[in-house]
Amino acid sequence: MGKAFEVIGGQATAPGATLTALTMNAGDSATVKNADLSSFVGLLGTWARNQAAGIWRIRSPKLHDNVQGIRYRIPATDPTQLWVAGAVQRLTPQDNLILELSGSAVGGQIEQACLLNYYVDLPGQQARLIGRDELLSRTQNVLTVEVAVTPGATGGWSGAVAINSLFDLLKANTDYAIIGYMVDAQVTAVGIRSPDFSNLRVGGPGMEAIVAGQIGARWTTARWFLELTEHYNISLIPVFNSANKAATLVDVMQNQTGTTVNVTLCVHELAPQGSKGFSVGLQ
Protein backbone atom coordinates (compact mmCIF):
# COMPACT_ATOMS: atom_id res chain seq x y z
CA MET A 1 0.00 0.00 0.00
CA GLY A 2 1.31 3.47 -0.92
CA LYS A 3 1.17 5.37 2.33
CA ALA A 4 1.74 9.12 2.06
CA PHE A 5 1.86 11.87 4.65
CA GLU A 6 2.38 15.56 3.92
CA VAL A 7 2.04 19.10 5.17
CA ILE A 8 0.80 21.69 2.66
CA GLY A 9 0.33 25.43 3.03
CA GLY A 10 -0.65 28.70 1.45
CA GLN A 11 -0.90 32.39 2.15
CA ALA A 12 -2.83 35.63 1.68
CA THR A 13 -1.16 39.04 1.67
CA ALA A 14 -2.90 41.76 3.72
CA PRO A 15 -6.39 40.24 3.36
CA GLY A 16 -7.88 42.45 6.10
CA ALA A 17 -11.29 41.36 7.37
CA THR A 18 -12.22 39.74 4.06
CA LEU A 19 -11.91 35.97 3.92
CA THR A 20 -9.46 35.57 1.05
CA ALA A 21 -8.58 32.43 -0.89
CA LEU A 22 -5.08 31.18 -0.16
CA THR A 23 -2.38 31.29 -2.78
CA MET A 24 -0.87 27.86 -2.33
CA ASN A 25 2.88 27.44 -1.89
CA ALA A 26 4.85 26.27 -4.90
CA GLY A 27 4.43 22.51 -5.13
CA ASP A 28 1.37 22.45 -2.86
CA SER A 29 -2.25 22.25 -3.97
CA ALA A 30 -5.66 22.75 -2.37
CA THR A 31 -6.86 19.82 -4.49
CA VAL A 32 -6.76 16.51 -2.62
CA LYS A 33 -4.37 14.15 -4.37
CA ASN A 34 -5.73 11.57 -6.80
CA ALA A 35 -6.01 8.42 -4.70
CA ASP A 36 -8.50 5.65 -5.39
CA LEU A 37 -11.98 6.80 -4.34
CA SER A 38 -12.33 3.71 -2.13
CA SER A 39 -9.10 4.41 -0.19
CA PHE A 40 -8.97 6.54 2.94
CA VAL A 41 -7.64 10.09 2.88
CA GLY A 42 -7.70 12.01 6.15
CA LEU A 43 -7.13 15.54 7.39
CA LEU A 44 -5.12 15.09 10.60
CA GLY A 45 -4.34 18.67 11.53
CA THR A 46 -4.42 22.33 10.68
CA TRP A 47 -3.06 25.62 11.98
CA ALA A 48 -2.56 29.22 10.90
CA ARG A 49 -0.15 32.03 11.70
CA ASN A 50 -1.40 35.58 11.41
CA GLN A 51 0.07 39.04 11.89
CA ALA A 52 -3.31 40.15 13.26
CA ALA A 53 -6.31 38.23 14.55
CA GLY A 54 -8.44 36.72 11.82
CA ILE A 55 -10.42 33.72 10.63
CA TRP A 56 -9.23 30.48 8.99
CA ARG A 57 -11.86 28.55 7.03
CA ILE A 58 -11.80 25.18 5.24
CA ARG A 59 -14.88 24.29 3.20
CA SER A 60 -16.10 22.15 0.35
CA PRO A 61 -19.36 20.54 -0.81
CA LYS A 62 -17.69 17.24 0.16
CA LEU A 63 -17.29 18.34 3.79
CA HIS A 64 -20.20 19.02 6.15
CA ASP A 65 -21.26 22.16 4.31
CA ASN A 66 -20.01 24.59 1.70
CA VAL A 67 -20.89 27.72 3.70
CA GLN A 68 -18.75 27.71 6.85
CA GLY A 69 -17.41 24.15 7.04
CA ILE A 70 -14.44 24.14 9.46
CA ARG A 71 -13.90 27.66 10.78
CA TYR A 72 -11.47 28.91 13.43
CA ARG A 73 -10.72 32.25 15.07
CA ILE A 74 -6.98 32.85 14.82
CA PRO A 75 -5.14 35.03 17.36
CA ALA A 76 -2.07 36.93 16.23
CA THR A 77 1.31 35.15 16.13
CA ASP A 78 0.10 31.78 17.37
CA PRO A 79 0.62 28.79 15.01
CA THR A 80 -0.74 26.28 17.53
CA GLN A 81 -2.31 23.09 16.18
CA LEU A 82 -6.09 23.72 16.07
CA TRP A 83 -7.26 20.18 15.45
CA VAL A 84 -8.75 18.03 18.22
CA ALA A 85 -6.19 15.30 18.92
CA GLY A 86 -7.23 11.98 17.42
CA ALA A 87 -10.07 13.36 15.28
CA VAL A 88 -9.97 12.69 11.55
CA GLN A 89 -11.88 14.43 8.78
CA ARG A 90 -12.22 12.20 5.76
CA LEU A 91 -11.30 13.91 2.49
CA THR A 92 -12.37 12.99 -1.03
CA PRO A 93 -9.68 12.41 -3.67
CA GLN A 94 -9.59 15.19 -6.28
CA ASP A 95 -11.84 17.45 -4.17
CA ASN A 96 -10.95 21.14 -4.55
CA LEU A 97 -10.87 22.46 -1.00
CA ILE A 98 -11.81 26.10 -0.53
CA LEU A 99 -9.17 27.54 1.84
CA GLU A 100 -9.65 31.11 3.08
CA LEU A 101 -7.94 33.35 5.60
CA SER A 102 -8.47 36.85 6.97
CA GLY A 103 -6.19 38.93 9.17
CA SER A 104 -3.88 41.92 8.83
CA ALA A 105 -4.76 44.76 6.45
CA VAL A 106 -1.22 46.19 6.52
CA GLY A 107 0.36 46.21 3.07
CA GLY A 108 2.92 43.45 2.56
CA GLN A 109 2.01 41.45 5.66
CA ILE A 110 1.61 37.75 4.91
CA GLU A 111 -0.94 35.53 6.67
CA GLN A 112 -0.41 31.77 6.33
CA ALA A 113 -2.16 28.46 7.04
CA CYS A 114 -1.38 24.74 6.74
CA LEU A 115 -3.07 21.36 6.45
CA LEU A 116 -1.69 17.94 7.42
CA ASN A 117 -2.99 15.17 5.13
CA TYR A 118 -2.59 11.39 5.28
CA TYR A 119 -3.20 8.91 2.46
CA VAL A 120 -3.59 5.21 3.18
CA ASP A 121 -2.91 4.28 -0.44
CA LEU A 122 -1.60 6.93 -2.84
CA PRO A 123 -0.44 5.49 -6.17
CA GLY A 124 3.28 5.88 -6.79
CA GLN A 125 4.08 6.72 -3.17
CA GLN A 126 5.48 4.67 -0.28
CA ALA A 127 6.65 6.77 2.64
CA ARG A 128 8.73 5.03 5.29
CA LEU A 129 6.64 5.50 8.42
CA ILE A 130 6.85 3.51 11.66
CA GLY A 131 4.80 3.29 14.84
CA ARG A 132 5.66 3.65 18.51
CA ASP A 133 6.32 -0.06 19.16
CA GLU A 134 8.81 -0.35 16.31
CA LEU A 135 10.48 2.88 17.41
CA LEU A 136 10.98 1.56 20.94
CA SER A 137 12.20 -1.87 19.85
CA ARG A 138 14.71 -0.57 17.26
CA THR A 139 16.11 2.52 19.04
CA GLN A 140 19.89 2.40 19.40
CA ASN A 141 20.70 5.99 20.36
CA VAL A 142 18.93 9.31 20.78
CA LEU A 143 20.49 12.34 19.11
CA THR A 144 19.70 15.81 17.85
CA VAL A 145 20.56 17.18 14.44
CA GLU A 146 20.69 20.96 14.05
CA VAL A 147 20.32 22.89 10.81
CA ALA A 148 20.32 26.64 10.14
CA VAL A 149 17.57 27.76 7.76
CA THR A 150 17.60 31.21 6.15
CA PRO A 151 14.22 31.68 4.47
CA GLY A 152 13.16 34.27 1.95
CA ALA A 153 10.83 37.19 2.69
CA THR A 154 8.08 36.38 0.20
CA GLY A 155 6.41 33.54 2.10
CA GLY A 156 6.02 29.96 0.98
CA TRP A 157 8.52 27.18 1.66
CA SER A 158 12.10 28.41 1.48
CA GLY A 159 15.62 28.14 2.84
CA ALA A 160 15.97 24.40 2.20
CA VAL A 161 19.20 22.85 3.51
CA ALA A 162 20.36 19.25 3.72
CA ILE A 163 19.95 17.56 7.07
CA ASN A 164 23.75 17.14 7.27
CA SER A 165 24.55 20.71 6.18
CA LEU A 166 25.76 21.88 9.60
CA PHE A 167 26.95 18.67 11.29
CA ASP A 168 27.70 15.67 9.09
CA LEU A 169 27.86 12.99 11.78
CA LEU A 170 25.23 10.44 10.79
CA LYS A 171 26.44 6.83 10.60
CA ALA A 172 26.71 5.32 7.14
CA ASN A 173 23.81 3.26 5.78
CA THR A 174 21.78 3.66 8.97
CA ASP A 175 18.07 4.29 9.49
CA TYR A 176 17.02 7.29 11.57
CA ALA A 177 13.54 8.09 12.86
CA ILE A 178 12.52 11.74 13.26
CA ILE A 179 10.45 12.10 16.42
CA GLY A 180 9.98 15.86 16.15
CA TYR A 181 11.86 19.15 16.10
CA MET A 182 12.34 22.46 17.92
CA VAL A 183 12.82 26.01 16.61
CA ASP A 184 14.48 29.04 18.20
CA ALA A 185 12.35 31.56 16.29
CA GLN A 186 8.70 31.31 15.37
CA VAL A 187 7.80 30.16 11.86
CA THR A 188 4.52 29.02 10.39
CA ALA A 189 5.75 25.50 9.72
CA VAL A 190 8.81 23.27 9.54
CA GLY A 191 9.05 20.88 6.59
CA ILE A 192 11.27 17.86 5.90
CA ARG A 193 11.51 16.17 2.49
CA SER A 194 13.36 12.99 1.60
CA PRO A 195 13.36 10.23 -1.00
CA ASP A 196 12.40 8.03 1.96
CA PHE A 197 9.15 10.02 2.30
CA SER A 198 8.51 9.78 -1.46
CA ASN A 199 9.78 13.38 -1.64
CA LEU A 200 6.62 14.67 0.00
CA ARG A 201 7.08 17.18 2.80
CA VAL A 202 6.29 16.03 6.34
CA GLY A 203 6.17 18.57 9.12
CA GLY A 204 4.23 20.64 11.59
CA PRO A 205 3.84 24.07 13.19
CA GLY A 206 6.86 26.19 14.12
CA MET A 207 5.93 27.08 17.69
CA GLU A 208 8.39 28.74 20.04
CA ALA A 209 7.98 28.46 23.81
CA ILE A 210 8.69 32.10 24.67
CA VAL A 211 5.76 33.37 22.58
CA ALA A 212 2.78 34.34 24.73
CA GLY A 213 0.25 31.54 25.04
CA GLN A 214 2.64 28.83 23.84
CA ILE A 215 3.80 27.37 27.13
CA GLY A 216 5.34 23.99 26.41
CA ALA A 217 5.36 24.63 22.67
CA ARG A 218 8.90 23.34 22.15
CA TRP A 219 8.06 20.17 24.08
CA THR A 220 5.01 19.67 21.84
CA THR A 221 6.92 19.91 18.57
CA ALA A 222 9.89 17.92 19.95
CA ARG A 223 7.59 14.86 19.97
CA TRP A 224 5.39 15.98 17.07
CA PHE A 225 5.43 12.81 14.95
CA LEU A 226 5.40 10.51 17.97
CA GLU A 227 2.41 12.38 19.38
CA LEU A 228 0.53 12.14 16.09
CA THR A 229 1.24 8.40 16.03
CA GLU A 230 -0.09 7.99 19.57
CA HIS A 231 -3.21 10.08 18.94
CA TYR A 232 -4.22 8.39 15.69
CA ASN A 233 -2.87 4.89 16.38
CA ILE A 234 -1.27 4.75 12.93
CA SER A 235 2.39 4.84 11.90
CA LEU A 236 3.34 8.49 11.36
CA ILE A 237 7.00 8.62 12.48
CA PRO A 238 9.12 9.27 9.35
CA VAL A 239 12.31 7.26 8.80
CA PHE A 240 15.18 8.14 6.47
CA ASN A 241 18.42 6.38 5.71
CA SER A 242 21.70 8.27 6.07
CA ALA A 243 22.56 7.24 2.50
CA ASN A 244 19.95 9.84 1.54
CA LYS A 245 21.20 12.54 3.90
CA ALA A 246 22.21 14.98 1.14
CA ALA A 247 18.72 14.67 -0.37
CA THR A 248 16.88 14.92 2.97
CA LEU A 249 16.04 18.61 3.14
CA VAL A 250 14.73 20.86 5.89
CA ASP A 251 12.92 24.09 5.06
CA VAL A 252 10.43 26.42 6.72
CA MET A 253 7.30 28.35 5.90
CA GLN A 254 8.05 31.93 6.99
CA ASN A 255 6.24 35.24 6.48
CA GLN A 256 7.60 38.53 5.16
CA THR A 257 9.97 38.91 8.13
CA GLY A 258 12.30 36.31 6.62
CA THR A 259 13.61 35.54 10.10
CA THR A 260 16.43 33.00 10.21
CA VAL A 261 15.70 29.94 12.34
CA ASN A 262 17.76 27.12 13.80
CA VAL A 263 15.82 23.87 13.60
CA THR A 264 16.83 21.10 16.00
CA LEU A 265 15.57 17.71 14.84
CA CYS A 266 14.92 15.12 17.55
CA VAL A 267 16.12 11.83 16.07
CA HIS A 268 16.51 8.16 17.03
CA GLU A 269 19.19 5.97 15.47
CA LEU A 270 17.52 2.65 14.60
CA ALA A 271 18.85 -0.89 14.55
CA PRO A 272 18.41 -2.70 11.21
CA GLN A 273 14.92 -4.01 10.52
CA GLY A 274 14.39 -7.29 12.36
CA SER A 275 17.03 -6.42 14.97
CA LYS A 276 16.55 -5.13 18.50
CA GLY A 277 18.02 -1.86 19.64
CA PHE A 278 19.87 -0.97 22.84
CA SER A 279 16.70 0.44 24.41
CA VAL A 280 15.06 -2.99 24.66
CA GLY A 281 14.75 -4.04 28.31
CA LEU A 282 13.68 -0.63 29.59
CA GLN A 283 10.18 -1.93 30.28
Distance CA 139, CA 50 (A): 38
pTM for the predicted model, two decimal places: 0.94
pLDDT of the residue at 131: 97
Three-state DSSP class for residue 195: helix
CB-neighbour burial class of residue 283 (10 A; exposed 0-12, middle 13-18, buried 19+): exposed
Task: Tell me the residue length of the chain.
Answer: 283
Specify whether the CB–CB gap between 37 and 93 falls below 8 A: yes
pLDDT of the residue at 216: 67
Provide Rg for the chain, Cα atoms.
Answer: 18
Residue 146 bridge partners (DSSP): 264
Residue 183 bridge partners (DSSP): 263
pLDDT of the residue at 277: 83
Residue 25 bridge partners (DSSP): none
Per-residue pLDDT of the chain (283 residues; tens, 9 = 90+): 689 999 999 999 999 999 999 999 999 999 999 998 889 999 999 999 999 999 999 999 999 999 999 999 999 999 999 999 888 999 999 999 999 999 999 999 999 999 999 999 999 999 999 999 999 999 999 999 999 999 999 999 999 999 999 999 999 999 999 999 999 999 999 999 999 999 999 999 999 876 666 666 788 899 999 999 999 999 999 999 999 999 999 999 999 999 999 999 999 999 998 888 876 665 5
pLDDT of the residue at 80: 92
pLDDT of the residue at 273: 87
Element (H, E) at 47: strand 41-49
Three-state DSSP class for residue 115: strand
pLDDT of the residue at 208: 87
